Amino acid sequence: MKKNKKFFKYFKEYQWANIFTMIKNNRSGPKICNEDFKNKLIVITGATSGIGYYTARKYAAHGANIVCINRNIQKSEDLCREIVSDFGVKCDYLIADLSNLKDIYQVAEQLQNYKTPIDVLIHNAGVYLTKKELTPDGLEKVFVVHYLSSFIINYLLMDKLKSQQKARIIMVGSEGHRFAAWGIHLDDLNWEKHRYSGLKSYGTAKTAQLLSMIVFNENFKNSGVTINTMHPGAVKTETGQENGRVYRWFKKNFIDKTLKSPEISAEALYYLGVSEEVENLSGKFFNLTTEEEAAPPALDREVAFDLWNKSLELAGLHE
């Protein structure tokens, strides 16, 4: 379908009611789950700070064992030492740069070889850039970290998770997917033909997450494996530290002062990973713990399957 046809298709599908619902939901807190999760295994990316840190502690406080995937060895060791000391559970870590395809494959292979079932897999790692950066593989960095890394890991773990007959995948998405208001440019994922901006690249990556969820959900049908995406709320994180001094100063002195603690995101991620109330829900987008309709470009099944094939190509995977 040509670009102008997509524009008119999405334009007709947009509903103001969904925007008002989003604004309303942004003011609400998450539902709370008090169920225990003893001796279960949670895998989480980007766990040394922000949302990931509080989420790891939340699950550990309820008895879960933790495997965190981070870039920094020292921070990972400190985190695991803290979790073991505070909660008496097991904590391990895998080191990977999720902007590097080699590292992504390596960590996916390590997870494949785990004999213990993975009960909850949370894709939390993220990055926000004001200027375009390419990875060592020649791919746009925000797209790889937010989307392609989770796609590869999910894809390579499909058989393992299905064999368990029960698992939950949660992708930390964003209402920011709405910045890709007229869809993603599958022919220009490296932003060579279109003008790059932080918001547009971020919106594209988060839209891609939601589109991939459509196809993964079909692959997991009747398997006991669920996959959902969650907007974590307006919370303070360390995302954006890779940018220049001006951006970091502005974020610290203006943006961060309007944000809430990432503990509310951890509450939502625990609810979505553990609560029996959402046990059979899959392929959904949540604003914290409230189900919400994503923007039209993130619901386009035709584009979802085109993106799936493109992702296999970029990642060097084969059906």
CA atoms within 13 A on the CB side of 250: 7
Contact 124, 98 (CB under 8 A): no
Which residue in 25, 102, 58 sits closest to 272, CA to CA?
58
Tokens of 30: 């998450």
Residue written as token pair 């502690």? 57
User: How wide is the angle at C-alpha 161 spanned by C-alphas 155 and 164, nearest 5°?
Assistant: 165
Which residue in 99, 104, 94 sits closest to 127, CA to CA?
99
Catalytic hit among 54, 147, 155, 202? 202
Work out the burial of residue 75: count CB atoms within 10 Å of its CB; fewer than 13 is exposed, 13-18 middle, 19 or more buried.
Answer: middle
Residue 114 among the catalytic residues: no
Partner residues linked to 47 by β-bridges: none
Question: Parallel, antiparallel, or unpaired: how do β-strands 290-292 and 285-287 relate?
Answer: antiparallel
User: Would you tell me how many other CB atoms lie within 10 Å of the CB of residue 146?
Assistant: 28
CA atoms within 13 A on the CB side of 192: 9
Helices 198-219 & 149-164 angle (0-180, nearest 10): 20
Q: Which residues are catalytic?
A: 202
